Amino acid sequence: MRSHYCGQVNETLVGETVTLAGWVNRRRDLGGVIFIDMRDRDGIVQVVFDPEQSAAIDKADSLRQEFCIQIEGKVLARPEGQINSDMKTGKIEVLAQQLTILNRSNALPIDFNSEVSEEQRLRFRYLDLRRPVMNDKIRFRAKVTSFVRRFLDGQDFLDIETPMLTRATPEGARDYLVPSRTHKGKFFALPQSPQLFKQLLMMSGFDRYYQIVKCFRDEDLRADRQPEFTQIDIETSFMSAEQVREVTEKLVRELFQELLNVDLGDFPSMPYSEAMSRYGSDKPDLRNPLELVDVADILKDVEFKVFAGPANDAKGRVAAIKVPGGAAKLSRKNIDDYAKFVEIYGAKGLAWLKVNDIAQGRDGLQSPILKFLPDEALTPLLERVAAEDGDILFFGADSAIVVTEALGALRLKLGEDLELNENGWRPLWVVDFPMFEATDEGLFALHHPFTAPVGVTADELEANPEAAISNAYDMVLNGCEVGGGSVRIHDSALQSAVFRILGISDEEANEKFGFLLEALKYGTPPHAGLAFGLDRLVMLMVGAQSIRDVIAFPKTTTAACVLTDAPGYANTQALDELGIAVKALKEKG
């Protein structure tokens, strides 16, 4: 029904007849001549209905926005003054000779040219997606997945599907459950990730696996989460952590080179401890020049208990952030707002110090806590942070967790507010994570319980679990974790030890992971892998504000689809067949 896409019609076709199919993007009438901006997936071209040259002029008069049309016409060079150099097709126009109205359109419920609420955009998603700005994002995503597949196919990875109807996991509280009709009273779970299946695929000898796969998490949707999201899931046998990082780094580097013409260079590696200490985050945004500087050693002898307390506590931390040029830029009001901001992270206050004129000594400084800082602390403090005139220092002094989180968050906020972030892309690997995180309720796995520790036996691990470092790695890009993975445990004794450390009894482990523990007994190869969050990666690449913009049919922040009105009520007969009943009937009203 077409000879060319609209966006392909250019000056090389002048004089030729083309057939186009698409939509009326815009219509203008000028002195009896009708101009249509005709749009399809590839672009926009100007179509002219001229009463003196076009038989279709009468029919064209009925055209309205988003009518679906087919035209046949002759490509003409635009007169000199009418060339539009902003348009790919701006040097030509198409003089319509035939017009077929394929479908009419009611007046649109959303205006393509002004801000529309996200609710309306999602309700009429099929119209929202017609907008080039949205259409391009989804097309870009298709280019990303196509590139990723070609790259991994080229590296001998096998695309293998894993089940969607799976066994509930221990983190089951966040599982979507699916009642079984055949086995009444029992439930499948939708996978939070194909983790165990990809390990089973390594045990099956497939050597290199990948899958671009939907995963599910039924949780309160924070700002930018989706109940169903997509992973680029990768697993390998007989490869070290370094080799997995090498191949996945190459994938991302070539992806950026091919689709964005950006050279990401080699990714630096940073231990988790350094990331937390210098950036207050396990996914540091290196575009932001600010750093956390530890100053506990300098302040541990001051009388000011706010500082001295945490400085002398093994679990405390005292650190400063220096904002160059911040003294003049930040008003008292700004500083108060930042103090409130860090309260979110548990900080009880936010001490600050402005360096107005360092040559004047104390008189050149301004701070509510100046009086608590004797010279023998102040001088080395200013030296440690390399303070210069115009700087402002912020201080955090509390438990290490609170200081790290609060200053880590403050660092990001200052970077944004003061537009300190450099442009471009700053990837890195964060490595050497602790195996376990200690909480009041016991030890938790920082990654997942199938992650291998570095260089310890099962006995050594159980003897001192908190000291163990995991062989895990996160790929971080501009402050987002875009991928994460690890070497997995391939030894059943070590796997059992990790379950015990996590407080999972042998009985519970057997019930939940018996098949895994058993599989580990039959020559499981060493294996390691990684998973990328595709939605987030694409979001970063296209510069979208939300992953919802790179998903064709996303759910709202309350996990609903306003387009199809899902979820909905099930009919009683269906529930009967499943052997379940809805308790919350009162909501149905």
The rounded distance, in Å, linking the Cα atoms of 338 and 395 is 12
Among 177, 262, 335, 502, binds a copy of itself (CB under 8 A): 177
Establish how many alpha carbons lie within 13 A of residue 84's alpha carbon, considering only the half-sphere containing its beta carbon. 12
Q: Which two tokens stand for residue 223?
A: 């700002």
Establish how many alpha carbons lie within 13 A of residue 555's alpha carbon, considering only the half-sphere containing its beta carbon. 20
**Residue 403, helix vs strand vs coil:** helix
Question: At closest approach, how far in Å is the CB of 265 from a copy of itself?
Answer: 28
Q: Is 536 annotated as a binding residue?
A: yes
Q: What residues from 375 to 404 belong to the interface with a copy of itself (CB under 8 A)?
A: none
The rounded distance, in Å, linking the Cα atoms of 348 and 340 is 9
582 binds a copy of itself, rule: CB under 8 A: yes
CA pseudo-torsion sign 502, 508, 510, 515: negative
Question: At closest approach, how far in Å is the CB of 480 from a copy of itself?
Answer: 20
For a copy of itself, which is the closer residue by CB, 31 or 523? Answer: 523
**Which range of residues in 192-200, 246-254, 327-335, 404-412 is near a copy of itself by CB under 8 A?**
192-200
The rounded distance, in Å, linking the Cα atoms of 495 and 369 is 51
259 binds a copy of itself, rule: CB under 8 A: no
**Which range of residues in 18-26, 276-284, 480-488, 494-502 is near a copy of itself by CB under 8 A?**
18-26
519 binds a copy of itself, rule: CB under 8 A: yes
The secondary structure of 219-278 as a DSSP string is S---TT--SEEEEEEEEEES--HHHHHHHHHHHHHHHHHHHH-----PPPEEEHHHHHHH
Residue type, 189: A
116 binds a copy of itself, rule: CB under 8 A: no
Who's near 330: CB < 8 A, 6+ residues apart?
323, 338, 392
Number of residues engaging a copy of itself in binding (CB under 8 A) = 128
180 binds a copy of itself, rule: CB under 8 A: yes
CA pseudo-torsion sign 266, 270, 276, 281: positive
For a copy of itself, which is the closer residue by CB, 167 or 287? Answer: 167
- Tell how strand 43-49 and strand 33-40 pair up: antiparallel
159 binds a copy of itself, rule: CB under 8 A: yes
Among 26, 116, 155, 227, binds a copy of itself (CB under 8 A): 227
For a copy of itself, which is the closer residue by CB, 203 or 321? Answer: 203
Q: What residues does 30 pair with on adjacent strands?
A: 33
In order of 334, 482, 544, 550, the CA distances from 539 in angstroms are 31, 10, 5, 6
For a copy of itself, which is the closer residue by CB, 36 or 385? Answer: 36
Among 114, 261, 545, 573, binds a copy of itself (CB under 8 A): 573
161 binds a copy of itself, rule: CB under 8 A: yes
Among 193, 237, 478, 496, binds a copy of itself (CB under 8 A): 237
Question: At closest approach, how far in Å is the CB of 161 from a copy of itself?
Answer: 6
**Which range of residues in 102-110, 268-276, 355-363, 459-467 is near a copy of itself by CB under 8 A?**
102-110
For a copy of itself, which is the closer residue by CB, 23 or 267? Answer: 23
118 binds a copy of itself, rule: CB under 8 A: no
Who's near 278: CB < 8 A, 6+ residues apart?
284, 291, 292
231 binds a copy of itself, rule: CB under 8 A: no
For a copy of itself, which is the closer residue by CB, 397 or 519? Answer: 519
247 binds a copy of itself, rule: CB under 8 A: no
Who's near 109: CB < 8 A, 6+ residues apart?
120, 124, 127
129 binds a copy of itself, rule: CB under 8 A: yes
588 binds a copy of itself, rule: CB under 8 A: yes
> Residue 419: which region, alpha, beta or left (left: phi > 0; alpha: psi -120 to 50)?
left
Among 115, 303, 419, 565, binds a copy of itself (CB under 8 A): 565
The 330-369 contact track toward a copy of itself, x by CB under 8 A, reads: ----------------------------------------
The rounded distance, in Å, linking the Cα atoms of 263 and 249 is 12
The rounded distance, in Å, linking the Cα atoms of 277 and 414 is 18
For a copy of itself, which is the closer residue by CB, 311 or 520? Answer: 520
Among 77, 83, 328, 574, binds a copy of itself (CB under 8 A): 574
Q: What residues from 51 to 70 belong to the interface with a copy of itself (CB under 8 A)?
A: 66-68, 70
Enter the DSSP assignment of 462.
H
The rounded distance, in Å, linking the Cα atoms of 474 and 270 is 10
577 binds a copy of itself, rule: CB under 8 A: yes
Q: Is 108 annotated as a binding residue?
A: no
For a copy of itself, which is the closer residue by CB, 360 or 564? Answer: 564
Among 55, 77, 108, 438, binds a copy of itself (CB under 8 A): 108
For a copy of itself, which is the closer residue by CB, 136 or 437? Answer: 136
522 binds a copy of itself, rule: CB under 8 A: yes
H-state helical runs in 129-233 = 132-154, 195-203
149 binds a copy of itself, rule: CB under 8 A: yes
For a copy of itself, which is the closer residue by CB, 91 or 167? Answer: 167
Q: What residues from 24 to 43 belong to the interface with a copy of itself (CB under 8 A)?
A: 24, 39-41
95 binds a copy of itself, rule: CB under 8 A: no
Q: Is 219 annotated as a binding residue?
A: yes
Q: What residues from 445 to 504 belong to the interface with a copy of itself (CB under 8 A)?
A: 490-491
Residue type, 511: E
CA pseudo-torsion sign 71, 76, 80, 84: positive
The rounded distance, in Å, linking the Cα atoms of 147 and 232 is 12
Q: Which two tokens stand for residue 248?
A: 């996945």
The secondary structure of 14-44 as a DSSP string is TT-EEEEEEEEEEEEEETTEEEEEEEETTEE
Question: At closest approach, how far in Å is the CB of 29 from a copy of itself?
Answer: 20
Q: Is 313 annotated as a binding residue?
A: no
* Binding-site residue positions: 171, 217-219, 226, 447, 481, 488, 533-536
